[in-house]
Amino acid sequence: MSKRRWPMFAGPPLILIAAMLLVARPEPVAEATRPITIHQISACASADAVMDRAGATPEAWWKSAERLDSAGTLLGRRLSVGLSGGTAARAATATGAATTGGLDLPPESFVSGPVDGLIVVATDDGSRSTVRILSAAAACGMVIHETAAVVRTAIIDRHDHSVLAYLIDRSTRADLGTWRLAIAPAAATEARLVAPPLGELARSVGTVWGTGLLLDTQGNQLAVQSCTDLGCLTRIFDLSHPGAAPTVIHGIDEGPMLGFAGSTVVTWAACPGYPCAILAWDAGASAGTPGRRVLAAAANAAAMTADGRRLVAVQADEPGTQPVEIDPRTGQLSHLRGLASGLRPLVTGASATSGLEVAANEIAIGPGAPDGSAASAGSNMQPLNPDASAEEVLP
């Protein structure tokens, strides 16, 4: 079975984490201090303008494209945001849908979502980080937080539409923990700490190059994953019991997260390249315990439904590939229909360059990379329902 190098920004990223995450380097790259130029996306008049249409819009999407100079230096990214037409046009691609707005982002930027039509954008100009919320339906955005610290990553909590952001100290690179940011800041709703820094656990991790955030479908469990170039450690916080000690998952072969399945966290293995195994970790699992299960021995691409019920994986089966859906709780595999040749589960997390809002029981798919790996481009995105596409249970 052949081994492949990781394509930039497309896959389970251990050896490339430093290149993918917001301000992972001590110094900004060329033109990092260039201010954001707002084109079609204007400033929202108020938080109400953002929230009034949240959750009641057709499927939102975003995609970003690098802007390079003649020498190939990264000048920034062009972010496009739009709507895919809703339930009546679910088969339509994002490429053919209307673009409602765009932004020019600096090189140090991070985008996640959409969640209920909302997209979170974190940018850094070398001295301050700014967090914005964009509404695809209202075609406007607003700043919800500015800080001298570095916002390394951020996600939206669909239950209250607040933003969970992971911060590090700009000068020392020290872990500052994960904070909840309200869309409409007020004296009673200022940023508050929801997951403390690694603390003593930092000694067992090493130099952290990337951090991932993940909420379960109920919004009660927050997974904060700290990754080095060799592997990851995940802390799971019970948000309904503030101050309680987190559950820690730290396996020697633990890679970046794919999703929650109940109390189980599904991750890639710690791989140097494709294909890569997919693992399930029961809460509290650690290296050598029975809590670690292999869901797929070798996959080139994978994604999980938000409800945690299904994992879609494109297995490496030389000379071709075989898409399957896997029940993360039982490991049961089924053949999958509806995933046309050349389509792959869309890359999510820190390496994503696009996003499409789908239902909780669906995944987003798009054209794969030339080597057969996960989709990272923003064109021809569409939803896939694994339940409706499962064809035959495999032994």
Residues 6+ apart with CB under 8 A from 234: 223, 224, 225, 226, 248, 249, 250, 254, 257, 265, 267, 281
pLDDT of residue 98: 64
Q: Which segments of the chain have a pLDDT < 70? A: 1-40, 52-58, 85-99, 184-189, 284-290, 317-322, 338, 369-379, 389-395
Cα separation, 31 vs 35, in Å, equals 9
Q: What pLDDT is stored for residue 222 in this prediction?
A: 95
